[in-house]
Amino acid sequence: MLWFFPALCAALTQSLNDVISKRYFSEFTAYEMGLIRLIYAFPYLVTGLLVIPWPPLDRTFWLCLAVGLPLEFIAFLCYMRAIKVSPLSLTLPFLAFTPAFVILTGFFILNERLNRYGITGVALIVAGSYVLNFSSARQHWQSPFRALLREQGSWLMLLTALVYSITATIGKLAIRHSSPQFFGMVYFIFFTMFVSMFFPLIPGAKISNILRKPLPGIAGGLVLTTMIFSHTYAISLVEAAYMISVKRCSLLFGVLFGAVVFKEEKIKERLVGALIMICGVLVIGILG
């Protein structure tokens, strides 16, 4: 269980970073919101890369980077847009679908096999997503699923979960061909440069927005760096589906932050839905 606490730390720091982004940078574009956290994490990552030992690298490592970075960019834009346009308590829970998707990607990419409890976990996650929009069930039993499609942040986060299931699995493969710390730093250094290349092409993106709020930016960069180290260390110790399952406790933290920080509505049904999804996540992570 050495992996459990780093995975839980990754969950907490991910949700905390979402709060910082939504609280201080939501007036900017989704692209700018994401780039801010990357830019301010960049100095921490470069400094870390200079002091750790570099492992030998092979073709598989670079292939993982080449495939993973464009996918990460798609997830990055969907994620930032989701937390920008919709309540955290209604968007972040859909990240619970990531470990369900990882069951498939982990099997095909890493040949990781899970037992029948994975099906139970997936069913609980789907049930929890239904409860998130349960108030609309008074109209029709299908209404919660229709509400999911109507709520832009929800279906964007569902798409994010699907892409993350692929990048998490690819990332673990890259860690097998390098080291957890090295991969985490190199991946996000390259990712920051990759995202920055699109800056001139994004309508409305301004350098002044990136630099306007340095203190929240610095805090967000430090939190993101902590999440990166926690994530890569934890996933190197256990099957990808297990680690991602625990990391998805971030959805519960996100609902609580949404209630406390942003005073979001319908928190009770969203908290119940999130708890059901957490149960599904834990069934996959512990029994799966």
pLDDT in tens, 113-152: 656 776 677 677 667 766 765 655 455 445 445 556 677 8
Q: What is the pLDDT of residue 195?
A: 92
Backbone phi, then psi, for 238, in 5-degree steps? -150, 165
Average pLDDT rounded to a whole number, residues 233-254: 77
Q: Where would I find the beta strands (DSSP E) of the chain?
A: none
Q: Are 184 and 72 in contact (CB under 8 A)?
A: no
Q: What is the dihedral of CA 117, 169, 112, 4, to 10 degrees?
A: -60
Q: Are 144 and 83 in contact (CB under 8 A)?
A: no
Cβ partners under 8 Å of residue 226, min gap 6: 9, 13
At residue 223, does pLDDT exceed 50?
yes
Q: What is the dihedral of CA 133, 99, 35, 150, to 10 degrees?
A: -20
Average pLDDT rounded to a whole number, residues 65-91: 87
Encoding tokens for residue 191? Answer: 């990712």
Backbone phi, then psi, for 23, in 5-degree steps? -70, -40
Domain that holds residue 205: 4-287
Q: How confident is the model at residue 30 (pLDDT cuts 50, 70, 90)?
A: confident
How many independent structural domains does the chain possess? 1
pTM: 0.78
Q: How confident is the model at residue 109 (pLDDT cuts 50, 70, 90)?
A: low
Average pLDDT, the chain: 81
Distance CA 100, CA 68 (A): 19
Q: What is the pLDDT of residue 124?
A: 76
Q: What is the pLDDT of residue 106?
A: 66
Residue 48: CB atoms within 10 A of its CB come to: 17
